[in-house]
Each structure stands twice: as C-alpha cells, then as structure tokens.
Amino acid sequence: MANTAHLRLIKRGVKYWNEWRKEKFSDQPDLSYADLSGWDLRGANLISADLSHANFTNADLSGSYLSIANLTNAYLSEAKLSGANLGKADLTGVDLSFANLSQAILIETKLHKALLVESKLTEALLNFADLSRANLSKADLRKAHMIKATLLEANLSDANLKAANLNRALLSEADLSRANLSEVNFTKADLSFANLIEADLHGANLNGVILIEANLRGANLQGTSLKKHN
C-alpha cells in the first residue's frame, strides 16, 4: 500500500512534490495502489517510484519523469503521457488503452502483455522495448522509433505504423493484419510466421527482412522488392 506520508505530499501538488524529491531524491516514493485517477501530474518527478497497482486512469502525466518506475499492474487507460520519460520502466501487463503516449520516451521499457489498444504512440521512442504479446490493435504508431524492439506474438492488427522505424525488430508470430505499414523501415527485421494478411506495405524497406512462413495474402507490396502474393 502507498506510504501515507508520500500520498499526502503528492496531494499537495506537483510543485511541492518535485521540491521534496530534490531534497530527498534517495528516498524511493511508494504510491502503490494509490488512486490518482484524473489527477494533474504534469511534469511530476516519479523516477524509480513504486507505482504498482496505482490508478492513473484519465490522469495527465504529460512531460512527467517515470524512468525506472515500477508500474506493474497499474491502470493508465486514457492517461495523457505525451512527452513523458518512461525509459526502463516496468509496465508489464499495464492497461494503456486509449492513452496518449505521443513523443514519449519508452527506450528499454518493459511492456510485455501490455494493453495498448487504440493508444497514440506517434513519434514515440521504443528502441529496445519489450512489447512481446502486447495488444497494440488499432494503435497509432506513425513515425515511431522501434529499433531492435521485441514484438514477438504482439497484436498490431489494424494499427497505423506509417513511416515507423522497425530496423532489426523482432516480430516473429506477430499479427499485423490490415496494418498500415507503408514506408516502414523493416531492415533486417524478423517477420517469420507473422500474419500480414491485407497489410499495406507500400514503399516499405524490406532489405534483409526475414519472412519465413509469413502470411502475405492480400498484402499491398507495391514499391517493395517482393512480388505480389495472392
């Protein structure tokens, strides 16, 4: 459960909280299980905090600092996280459905089995992130940077990844059916056994890509080095 003193501090406002953290940075904040739904936490310093099971539904965490934080089993549905730094944070199994993560930093972040349905991740930095078995159905990942990201068995059906960078990403057994993959950089990516049925790969860079047993039925391969699959 949340540390009652820490909970009182955050309730006094972000300015007061951040000043306290400057003085007591070595203290690890414990806001686990706290109900912070709908709160304005813009720019909050929550680095390395224990936020497990906390409720941030519809909270505004834009520009906040959440690197190395423990957010396992937290609720972040419809939360605003644009420009937030979540590098190396643990978001395993977290519900981020409909959340705004545009331009967020998620480098080396753990998002295994996370729910990111219809989330906004435009221009987000997801390099080396673990998104294995995550649900990104209908997510907006335009121009996202996902170099060497792990997306094994991830659900990306109907997602928009136009002009995203998936250089050397691992997408084996991922579901990319009907996804917008136009202009995506798939250089040396692993798409073995992936579902690419009716995906739009127009102008995608497929140099060195692994497509062993990938299903490309009905996919748009115009402007790529691959021949049309029927």
Cα angle for residues 77, 186, 87 (degrees, 5° grid) = 40
Question: What value does the mean pLDDT take over residues 81-89?
Answer: 98
Q: What DSSP character marks residue 47?
A: T
| Structure confidence at residue 227 (pLDDT) | 53
Alpha helices (H) along the chain: 4-11, 14-23
Question: What value does the mean pLDDT take over residues 101-105?
Answer: 98
> For residue 224, what are its two tokens?
């790529």
Q: How confident is the model at residue 3 (pLDDT cuts 50, 70, 90)?
A: very high
Residue 154 reports pLDDT greater than 70: yes
Instruction: For residue 43, count other CB atoms closer than 10 A to its CB.
Output: 17
Q: State how far the Cα of 133 lies from the Cα of 129, in Å rounded to an integer.
A: 12
Question: What value does the mean pLDDT take over residues 37-65?
Answer: 97
Length of the chain: 230
Q: State how far the Cα of 97 lies from the Cα of 3, in Å rounded to an integer.
A: 28
Q: How confident is the model at residue 229 (pLDDT cuts 50, 70, 90)?
A: very low
Q: How confident is the model at residue 139 (pLDDT cuts 50, 70, 90)?
A: very high
pTM, two decimal places: 0.94
| Structure confidence at residue 182 (pLDDT) | 98
| Structure confidence at residue 225 (pLDDT) | 76
Question: What value does the mean pLDDT take over residues 111-137?
Answer: 98
Contact 174, 192 (CB under 8 A): no
CB < 8 Å & 24+ apart, contacts of 188-197:
195/157
Return the amino acid letter for 114: A
- Could you tell me how far CA 132 lies from the centroid of its own chain? 11
Q: Over the stretch 187-197, which tens digit does the pLDDT of each residue have?
A: 999 999 999 99
